[in-house]
Amino acid sequence: MLTEILLPSLFMAFGIYMSSIDFAFRSESRVFKPDLYPLKQKLLMNKDLYDDEGSNGLTPADFANNLPDYADSFDVTFNPKKPGPTFDEFGDDLY
């Protein structure tokens, strides 16, 4: 009786109590910027796009060069492998 009726009832009552507590305290909003981190953030990017449809000629290098504070905040390494015939083979080569 204890484990079939009383404990589930107590858990339900505790859950209802927890849902009625007002957690309205909000901390101050912060924007995460690259300069908040002490070391450069390491990024591994593909040298070539897997599917360049709709890219309008942009490459991953263009994306990396336009990151905020690129030279001081990011250490970008490009994976030199070319895309394989299937996505699975490309993933195997990448990792």
Q: What is the mean pLDDT of residues 1-7?
A: 82
Give, for 46, the enclosing helix (H) or strand (E). strand 41-46
Residue 87 pLDDT more than 80? no
Tens-digit pLDDT profile for residues 46-76 = 887 766 677 788 888 888 888 888 888 888 8
What is the pTM (predicted TM-score) of this model? 0.47
Contacts of 74 by beta carbon, 8 Å cutoff, 6+ apart? 34, 40, 41, 42, 43, 64, 67
Domain ranges in the chain are: 30-95
pLDDT at residue 42 tops 80: yes
Percent of the chain scoring above 90 in pLDDT: 7
3-state secondary structure of 70: helix
What tokens appear for 9 in the block?
């009832």
